[in-house]
């Protein structure tokens, strides 16, 4: 039985660690930077339900910062993030 959004946002469905030039596909609810990380989104590397997600391309997500939404693909060119399933 699904537990709802608060359960999913707590990371209790697990996640995947991405390091360096790495990517993952799936359904993710939160991207948390562990180290300063550069997000790629210009040509669909990071895809989700955020309007104008392409504006994140090449931007640095600083260590400790996170982005919420529904992401179907996450790619970074450097750094370390945890992409939490949702």
pLDDT tens column, 25-74: 888 889 999 999 998 875 555 666 777 777 888 899 999 999 888 888 88
Establish if 79 belongs to a structural domain. Answer: yes
More confident of the two residues 47 and 11: 11
Is residue 9 predicted with pLDDT exceeding 70? Answer: no
Establish if 44 belongs to a structural domain. Answer: yes
Beta-strand relationship, 60-61 and 22-39: antiparallel
Establish if 48 belongs to a structural domain. Answer: yes
Establish if 3 belongs to a structural domain. Answer: no
State the pTM of this model: 0.81
Establish if 14 belongs to a structural domain. Answer: no
- Name the domain count of the chain: 1
Opening angle at CA 54, ends 32 and 75, nearest 5: 45
Establish if 13 belongs to a structural domain. Answer: no
Establish if 10 belongs to a structural domain. Answer: no
For 39, the domain range is: 22-85
Establish if 39 belongs to a structural domain. Answer: yes
Is residue 6 predicted with pLDDT exceeding 70? Answer: no
Is residue 78 predicted with pLDDT exceeding 80? Answer: yes
């Amino acid at each position: 039985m699904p537990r709802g959004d608060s359960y999913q946002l707590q990371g209790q469905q697990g996640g995947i660690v991405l390091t360096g030039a790495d990517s993952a596909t799936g359904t993710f609810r939160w991207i948390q930077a562990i180290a300063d990380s550069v997000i790629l989104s210009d040509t669909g590397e990071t895809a989700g339900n955020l309007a104008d997600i392409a504006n994140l391309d090449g931007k640095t997500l600083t260590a400790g910062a996170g982005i919420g939404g529904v992401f179907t693909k996450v790619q970074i060119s450097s750094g370390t993030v945890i992409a939490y399933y949702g």
